Amino acid sequence: MDTPTDAMCENTDRAEAIHPVARRTIPIADCRHASVVPKQASKPARLVVDRMGRPLQDLRISVTDRCNFRCTYCMPKEVFGKEHAFLAHRDLLSFKEITRAARAFIDLGVRKIRLTGGEPLLRKSLERLVAMLHTLRTPDGHPPELTMTTNGSILARKAQTLKDAGLDRVTVSLDALDDAVFRRMNDVDFPVAEVLRGIETAQAVGLGPVKVNMVVKRGTNDAQILPMVERFRGTGIVLRCIEYMDAGNSNGWCMNEVLPSQEVVDRIHRHHPLHPLEAHRPGETAQRWAFDDGSVEIGVLSSVSRAFCGTCSRARLSMEGKLYLCLFASHGHDLRALLRDSPQAGRDPVSDAQLRAALAQLWSRRVDRYSELRAVQASGAWPSERKVEMSYIGG
């Protein structure tokens, strides 16, 4: 594995002495400055590919920048405190604007839409958006796959309504089974039992197969890997262990806290033998493993130790309509300016054809491959820009 040496922290004190990011006191980047998207009337390209030949297949839509958790690796309290200014409601894309953008993405090849946040279930009447997205059809007449990533805190209450509105599946984030460890990591003293109830309800109402995302931080919750495996094994719920990533600018990330996925697999394999499974499709983020006894599969996401940029087909739309072409991007492209009329600025919304053409043009110019370049960037050979925050763009 490439190890970015100057991002290593031998111990926290030293890291805090030398690394401003590790002090966790830097205000987040204002990622709201977006480049202007050109209005073009040219014919839209269907099924666009980027400069590296990667098709546009997945769309993640972040519906809010707010969250009721303060996970230490995502929205640390020191940065996202009481005084933090979240976006005003008028700045968010409306459900109608989101649906219109989603339709254009589907016309260009997107087949899977994931709702995320912040905490997506905090967006009022989200089931209305789900119902609107559920009416969309691909050019060959199929509905796109509709999923959501949630912290599960109010899922038990919402699962049935979401299912009725047309949501296909949920992924629930849960970092530990041990209540004390979980409460420390979400940093708002939220009990694990309520998230487990959300997972069980989601499974019961048919939002499955339910996936559980566990961000693994060495020394914080890596002792929870086996209990998590044993809790979900044989339940039909797919556990996915995610390498702790250097997303955003706030979490004080350092390489020593990353537990490489290979080590996760080795640890599980020692107790419950595993064998690798084929990917369901190219561009799948998780490497899949199955228990030798056939009970169920698990996944590992190795964004740090084994980048998967070569097959990355994901576009990300922020709650205020900025399009990001990479999870680690510094700049978004302003789609809201295309979607919303602005009489003051003498601006009308563009036509569907113009919107598709603009999106196709942006995707066709895409060269992003941050994870592959991470080692170079960390060693200082590449200019380091402030990245978009994970809670803003949704993971």
Tell me the per-residue interface mask from 205 to 224 with ligand SAM, x by CB under 6 A, - otherwise: --------x-x---------
> How far, in Å, are 90, 232, 263, 269, 385 from residue 117 at the CA level?
17, 25, 29, 33, 22
What tokens appear for 117 in the block? 């946040």
Q: Which is nearer to ligand SF4, 325 or 337 (CB)?
A: 325
65-84 binders of ligand SAM (CB under 6 A):
67, 73-74
Exposure class string for 29-44: b at 16+ Cβ within 10 A, else e: bebeebeebeebeeeb
Give the residue, chosen from 151, 249, 261, 302, that forms a contact with ligand SAM under the rule CB under 6 A.
151
CA 249 to chain centre: 16
Q: Is 117 in the site for ligand SF4 (CB under 6 A)?
A: yes
Report how far residue 57's alpha carbon sits from residue 105's, in angstroms, rounded to the nearest whole number.
Answer: 8
Tell me the per-residue interface mask from 215 to 254 with ligand SF4, x by CB under 6 A, - otherwise: ----------------------------------------
Question: How crowded is residue 63: how many other Cβ atoms within 10 Å of its Cβ?
Answer: 26
Residue 100's contacts (CB-CB under 8 Å, 6 or more residues apart) are: 339, 352, 355
Q: Is 175 in the site for ligand SF4 (CB under 6 A)?
A: no
373-392 binders of ligand SAM (CB under 6 A):
390-391
Q: Where do the DSSP E strands lie in the chain?
A: 34-36, 58-62, 112-116, 145-150, 169-173, 211-216, 238-243, 274-276, 287-291, 297-301, 314-317, 322-324, 332-334
Cβ atoms of 109 and 77 within 8 Å: the answer is no
Exposure class string for 353-370: b at 16+ Cβ within 10 A, else e: ebbbbbbbbbbeebebbb
The interface region with ligand SF4, picked from 15-23, 198-206, 345-353, 363-371 by CB under 6 A, is 363-371
Identify the three-state secondary structure at position 202.
helix
Report how far residue 19's alpha carbon sits from residue 35's, in angstroms, rounded to the nearest whole number.
Answer: 30
Q: Which residue has the tokens 């039909």?
A: 236
308 touches, from ligand SF4, ligand SAM, none (C-beta below 5 to 8 Å by class): ligand SF4
The interface region with ligand SF4, picked from 203-211, 261-269, 290-298, 368-376 by CB under 6 A, is 368-376
75 touches, from ligand SAM, ligand SF4, none (C-beta below 5 to 8 Å by class): ligand SF4
116 touches, from ligand SAM, ligand SF4, none (C-beta below 5 to 8 Å by class): ligand SAM
86 touches, from ligand SAM, ligand SF4, none (C-beta below 5 to 8 Å by class): none
CA 46 to chain centre: 25
247-266 binders of ligand SAM (CB under 6 A):
247, 251
Q: Is 395 in the site for ligand SAM (CB under 6 A)?
A: yes
Question: How crowded is residue 175: how many other Cβ atoms within 10 Å of its Cβ?
Answer: 28
Question: How crowded is residue 137: how many other Cβ atoms within 10 Å of its Cβ?
Answer: 11
Q: Is 71 in the site for ligand SF4 (CB under 6 A)?
A: yes
Q: Which is nearer to ligand SF4, 176 or 339 (CB)?
A: 176
What tokens appear for 242 in the block? 């995610």
250 touches, from ligand SF4, ligand SAM, none (C-beta below 5 to 8 Å by class): none
Give the residue, chosen from 7, 92, 242, 258, that forms a contact with ligand SAM under the rule CB under 6 A.
242
Q: Is 350 in the site for ligand SF4 (CB under 6 A)?
A: no
The residues that touch ligand SF4, with contacts defined as CB under 6 A, are 67, 69-71, 74-75, 117-119, 151, 173, 307-309, 312, 314, 326-328, 368-371, 391
Residues that bind ligand SAM (CB under 6 A): 67, 73-74, 116-117, 119, 149-151, 173, 213, 215, 242, 244-245, 247, 251, 390-391, 394-395
